[in-house]
């Protein structure tokens, strides 16, 4: 097995580990939806939850999927107790709430969009909310660390294997990795200029 084949094999193994971790985390956490009647900050929501007996350390994050709905990210093992505690204060969770329903898009800038575009926008907005949750919390940071490690290992191996023989001959000067709230990105520099910008997803196939 030459260097490039070894790189591909190692990258596939890393991607498999990341996918398994994603599935595990997705199965362990849920979002409980509750109604709200006015605009509240996250600190105000947590204060009110404490007032009704909710252990707010078990609420990993709060999202706003619709104008009159709040989403509470909790571990699946805590959801039943959360629901029971809320019911004691006559607060019912909205089990039928669909965060992908385009009717929840309240921004007037999108009022002219057709049904198909609104559905796609609803999916994009949900992904954006969850990606922010993912990056702001311990469980999300754990997975982000694994993703970063997988991506970095692949890039480092790629640079070490190909640079001496190929990349330097083609004029490649550096590989730079950027990690932020959005997707992982890599900038490949060609004689001082950015040649390509790729997301983590496309790089996983490119590697």
Domain assignment of residue 32, yes or no: yes
Task: Measure the CA–CA gap between 205 and 207, rounded to whole angstroms.
Answer: 5
Looking at the fold, whether 149 and 198 belong to one and the same domain comes out as: yes
Mapped onto helix, strand or coil, the DSSP state of residue 4 is helix
| 196 shares a domain with 103 | no
Specify burial of residue 43 (Cβ count, 10 A radius: 0-12, 13-18, 19+). exposed
pLDDT tens digits for range 25-42: 555 778 899 998 888 999
- Residue-wise pLDDT for 152-175, tens only, equals 444 444 444 444 444 444 444 444
Query: Residue 106 belongs to what domain range?
Result: 27-143
User: 198 and 104 in one domain?
Assistant: no
Compute the Cα dihedral for 44, 48, 51, 55 and give only its sign: negative
Model pLDDT for residues 68-101, shown as the tens digit of each residue: 899 998 888 888 999 999 999 999 999 888 888 8
Q: Quick check: is 5 in a domain?
A: no
Domain-terminating residue out of 143, 172, 190: 143
Task: Please report the DSSP string for 44-89 in residue order.
Answer: HHHHHHHHTT--GGGEEEEEEEETTEEEEEEEHHHHHHHHHHHHHT
Q: Has residue 198 been placed in a domain?
A: yes
Average pLDDT over residues 135-147: 47
Closest by CA to 63, choosing from 75, 74, 54, is 74
33 and 127 in a single domain? The answer is: yes
Exposed (0-12), middle (13-18) or buried (19+): which is 23, by Cβ within 10 Å? exposed
Determine the pLDDT at residue 10: 60
Quick one: 70 and 153 in the same domain? no
Q: Helix 115-136 and helix 138-162: axis angle, to 10°?
A: 90
Mean pLDDT of 56-76: 87
Same domain (yes/no): 65, 157: no
Please check whether residues 113 and 39 belong to one and the same domain.
yes
Same domain (yes/no): 179, 98: no
> Are 185 and 197 in a shared domain?
yes
Examine residue 20 and state whether it is found in any structural domain, yes or no: no
Mark which of 114, 143, 172 sits at the end of a domain: 143
* pLDDT higher than 90, residue 45: yes
Q: Which of 104, 119, 143 is the last residue of a domain?
A: 143
Q: Quote the number of domains for the chain.
A: 2
């Amino acid at each position: 097995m030459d260097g490039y084949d070894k790189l591909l094999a190692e990258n596939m193994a890393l991607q498999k580990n990341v996918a398994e971790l994603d599935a595990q985390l997705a199965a362990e956490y849920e979002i409980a939806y509750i109604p709200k009647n006015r605009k509240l900050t996250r600190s105000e929501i947590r204060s009110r939850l404490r007032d009704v007996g909710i252990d707010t350390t078990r609420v990993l994050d709060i999202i706003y999927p619709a104008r009159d709905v709040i989403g509470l990210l909790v571990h699946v093992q805590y959801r039943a107790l959360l629901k029971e505690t809320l019911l004691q204060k006559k607060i019912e969770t909205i089990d039928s709430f669909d965060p992908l329903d385009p009717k929840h898009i309240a921004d007037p800038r999108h009022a002219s969009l057709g049904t198909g575009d609104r559905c796609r926008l609803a999916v994009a907005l949900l992904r954006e909310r969850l990606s922010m949750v993912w990056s702001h919390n311990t469980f999300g940071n754990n997975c982000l660390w694994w993703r970063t490690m997988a991506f970095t290992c692949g890039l480092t191996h790629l640079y070490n294997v190909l640079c001496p023989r190929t990349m330097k001959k083609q004029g490649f000067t550096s590989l730079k990795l950027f990690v932020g709230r959005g997707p992982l990105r890599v900038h490949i520099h060609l004689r001082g200029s950015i040649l390509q910008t790729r997301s983590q997803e496309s790089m996983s196939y490119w590697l």
